[in-house]
Every structure is written in structure tokens, then in C-alpha cells.
Structure 1
Amino acid sequence: MSKFAVAGAVLCFSTMLATPSLAQPGWFSGDWSLTLGVAALSIPEYEGDDKYRFVAQPIVSFGRQGTERRFSSRNDNISIGLIDTGTFRAGPTGKLVFERDGGDSDDLVGLDPIRFGVELGGFAEVYPTDWLRVRGEVRHGIRAHDGLVADLSADAFMNLSPTVQISAGPRVSMASSDYFDAYYGVSATESLASGLAPYTPEGGFRSVGVGAAIKWDVTDKVETSLFGEYSRLVGPAADSSLVRERGDENQFMIGVSATYRFDFSL
């Protein structure tokens, strides 16, 4: 059964300053931009499910004016570019992790809940050409899980006009055994409570897939986009009894978004 829910905000902080400049007096002064918006998405009820729901996701972006990046993807997590040379960007990154329990799906009844938490780590992205960006993130779970997650993506992008940009590219995700145990493992106790076969995962690849998007700058301040993604669960995720008995290896996401940018000075 589809349902409409509110997911967590997508946040982005953008700078193009090297690390030493953070200590300069008046770094926060100058011209800044605050972008607010919302995205509406159709996503699986939980990672690995074969049923879908609609969610509303706030979008919040804050950064200096005149430091817009050549390309950004909705897959990019919260990040601060402490190093930015124009063709290479790196710094800390983070992701909010929301609860998962039997209230999200009957499939999860009897399994240990996932608590609200975060994933913190670092990111790096490089532009090998003017039309290609490669980005990697490595994050460690805090409170929600104790595992490591690594995401790698490549996006080719092209401007069809001064206001319309299209992009597409592959995605690969990997994780440690602690992550898989939290999301896909089924202990003996959980097996009795849920009816799923016991499963103890190891680390490895989590998913492979492809994503695409089209972005339209309606005005100088208003931006809209249509995006979609397909991923196939592999390795320990695909082998989980939760996925094999109640879910699907094939995962789809499609959505639209709209944002408005406010410019101001400090």
C-alpha cells in the first residue's frame, strides 16, 4: 500500500576555499545564498522491499554566491568542500539515517529496529573532463549501525541549453558486515519472531545501478528537476532472507523537485 510521508532534509553546504582560509577573519562575511525546496519521490518502503511509497523530502542548500559547482547530484550527501581546485573537491560528508521498524512494513515485524542516527566520513570528487564527474564517499555509521558504507558514482552531464542540463551515469555501493547485519541480518531470535530464515551476512558489494536526471532553471532563482534511479541489490544484500523471501533485488526510485534561491549579504 502506498503512503505519503515526510523524509529528512537534504542539506548541502558549498565553499570553494582551501582549508587555511577558514581561519581568516571575516570568512562568514560577504554574499551568500540559501536555497529551499521540496522533492517528491516514489521509493521502496524499506531498502530491499518490493512495495513502494511516496515521500516528501525537504531540500536545504547554503553557500557563497558565485561558488556554484559545475554539477551536483541528488545522491550527494551533506558535504563541505574544504579543498576545491575547480577540478578536484574533497572534505567531510555526512548522512542522516532514519528509523526502520515494523511500523514501516509488516515484513519487518520481529526484526530488531534501526535507530535514528548518522553516517559521518569524507568525500572526494574529480572532473576528468568538462562533462564528467566522478565522486566517492566513505561513511561510518553512528547509533543507527556500526558499519562502513562506501558509494562511488560517475555522471556524464551535458547542457542542452543555458537553462536545461541532462545527466546520467553508474552507481556502485559497498558496505561492511556490521552494516549488512543491521539491515539484512536475521538472528536466531529474530528468525523465531519474524518467520524469516536465519542469515548472518559478511561484507561486500551492496548494489550496482544507474541514475539519470534532467534539470531546468525556470528562472535565475527557481530550479526544477526530474530524476530516476535503478539499482540491483547484490552480494550480502541480495542473499538476505529478508530480500529473498519478502522483497526484491531490483530497486527503483523516481522523483521531481523544485527549489527557490534566496540571496543575501552578511
Structure 2
Amino acid sequence: MSLRTLALTAAAATAFAGSALAQSQPYEQMRPAPDGWTVDLGVGALYSKDSGGDTGSETRVVPWVSANYRDVVYLSAIDGLGWNAIKTDDFRAGLQLRPRFSPEDIEGLDLDRPDFGADVAAYAFKRLPGNIVVGGRVSRDVTDVSEGTEYYASVGHQRVTPIGLMNVSVYARGGDAKLADAYYGVSAAEAARNGIDAYSPGSGLQGAGASLFLLVPINDKWGAGALVNYERRLGDVADSPLSQEDDTLRTGVFFARRFGG
């Protein structure tokens, strides 16, 4: 692939990357931020194994919807509604209203599972030489689902490959006892109802994982993507009787079209 073709591939892929690759993170920009709104609409298929504590697996067809205003205000199913309050070439910090999806029911158990909720998060990410981005966020439930706090830190790298834009990251997350108990605790009533031991997890590290995302441009308006995410539960949540399998795997593909920009 020639340098010119590589640059054009990068520019086309970056047209979608703001939505797909966490608009809160200051990776090197291949083209200027849009002057106004952009909206991405598409559809994808997501396979998940042990996404909610059970050992089962599930494949879903899911819509892809995201929006961006000049890389300052953005909306996506992953990050929720976000605002880059501080935005420079190599640093971003801001606030998000993040969705927290309810976990799946666990087959054979009658549990009071948390409802869909939302967290308010503050984040900061810094780009280092080599297009490596480090940073993290602190988020807290604001919908009385758990009243818990989560901590997240990541290191990521992004580069243009002959077939598209690739992002690789590793991360760790932890939280307080309220968060762990809401999703992995077993109350006395639940223990009696299901014939399992009551369990009250504490605070600390809850998981670590790695993600790979590949974005392939079709033209300047259409793109396709693929993702793989592996995570392992750690600490008290891994010892919970609700975590029958400590490994989680998610894979998916999607197609999307950009409007505006």
C-alpha cells in the first residue's frame, strides 16, 4: 500500500473512529474535526459469553447510533452523552452520563437483579509519543440502582494498517463495596430462596481485560468494524457464587453510514 493510499485509508477510517473508538480519547487526528454535527447510523451483531455472571452465551442484532458535534459534545451507546470540557491536541478531560445495562438473569436462580441505570463520570486522557493514550475515569451511579462508584484505567494504541484503523487497549477496573454488592452480592433472602450461601463482596479490583477494534472504510460515508473484548473478573467479584465463570468474551461486527460532516 502506498503512503498516499495509506493516508486516504486513515482519513476515511477516522471519519467513523470518533464514534467507534471513544471520543474522549485524544488519538492523533487524521483530518480536522467536523464543523457541525455528524450522525452515524448502522447495525451490528454482538456475541457475548458470560456477560452477566451466567455461563451461557448469546448473540444479538443491535442498532448502532452515534452523534458528534465538533468533537466537543458526543453521544453513543457505549459512552452515553459526553462533553470534552478540556480539549487540546493531546489531552481531553470531561464529563459523561454513561448507561449501565442490567445484567442477564442467571439460569436456575431467582435473584433480584439490578435494573438499567446511569452513571455520571469524570475522565481524563493524555496522548504519549507513539500514539499511545493513557488515562481513566471515575463514575458513580445516579439512578439509585447501586449508589456505587467505579474506577477505570486504560492504556491504548491506535495505528493505520493496510486494511483499516486498528485500536488495541488494555484496562483494569475496580469499585466500591456498594457497586460489587449490587451485581455480585447475595442477600440472606436470595440465599434462602436459592439454596446458596449469602455473599457480601468488598471494594477493590474487579476486573482486567483487553480489547481490539478494527475499522475498515468502504468509502467516505460507509464503514465496517469488528471488535474482540476479553475480560477476567478479579477480587471479590470473582469469588462470588454468581460468577460461575470468571472469563468474559465479546465479539461483534457492524456496518454504519455517516451523515453530515
TM range (shorter): 0.7 to 0.9
CA distance in 1, matches of 2:20, 2:60: 17
Which structure 2 segments of 5+ residues have no match? Answer: 1-18, 26-34
Amino acid at match of 2:93: A
SS at match of 1:242: coil
CA displacement 1:111-166 (0-9 Å, x = unmatched)? 222122211121111111242122312111123211001121211121114x6112
After TM superposition, the structure 1 stretch with the greater mean CA deviation from structure 2, 198-207 or 163-172, is 163-172
Question: Cα gap change, 1:182/1:11 in structure 2, threshold over 3 Å: closer, same or farther?
Answer: farther
Instruction: Say if 1:14 and 1:62, in contact at 8 Å, map to a contact too.
Output: no
| Contact 2:21/2:167 (<8 A) preserved | no
* 1:51 partner letter: G
Query: How far has the Cα of 1:40 moved from its partner?
Result: 1.5
Match of 2:88 in 1: 85
Instruction: Report the equivalent of 2:183.
Output: 183
Q: In structure 1, how many angstroms separate the alpha carbons of the residues matched to 2:130 and 2:77?
A: 20
Tell me what 1:259 maps to. Answer: 256
Separation in structure 1 between the aligned mates of residue 230 and residue 22 of structure 2, nearest angstrom: 27
SS in 2 for 1:201: coil
Q: Secondary structure at the match of 1:241?
A: coil
Structure 2 match to 1:143: 144
Q: How much has 1:14 moved relative to structure 2?
A: 6.1
Cα deviations by residue, 1:22-78 (Å, 9 ceiling, x for unpaired):
xxxxxxxx632111122321113542322111123332222236x59xxxx996554
Aligned to 1:125: 125
Give the drift of 1:12.
Answer: 9.8
Question: 1:152-191 counterparts in 2 under 5 A?
Answer: 152-161=153-162, 164-191=164-191
- In 1, Cα distance between equivalents of 2:152 and 2:44: 22
Deviations 1:209-250 (A, max 9, x none): 11112111111111211110111100011010112xxx2011
Q: How does 1:191-210 map to 2 (within 5 A)?
A: 191-210=191-210
**Within 2, Cα distance between the matches of 1:136 and 1:174?**
11
CA distance in 1, matches of 2:140, 2:238: 22
Percentage of matched positions with identical amino acids: 25
**C-alpha separation in 2, matches of 1:192 and 1:158:** 53
Q: Deviations over 1:82-123 (max 9, x none)?
A: 21001000111122123346xx3324x322221222111211
- Residues 79/221 of structure 1: CA separation in 2 closer, same or farther (3 Å cut): same
- Could you tell me whether the CA contact under 8 Å between 1:12 and 1:80 is conserved in 2? no
Cα separation, partners in 2 of 1:180 and 1:14, compared to 1, 3 Å: closer
Instruction: Please state whether the residue corresponding to 1:93 is helix, strand or coil.
Output: strand
What value does the CA root-mean-square deviation take over the aligned residues?
2.8
**Structure 1 stretches of 5 or more lacking a match?**
1-9, 17-29
Question: 2:106 — aligned with what?
Answer: 105
SS of 1:80 mapped into structure 2:
strand
TM-score, normalising length from structure 1?
Answer: 0.77
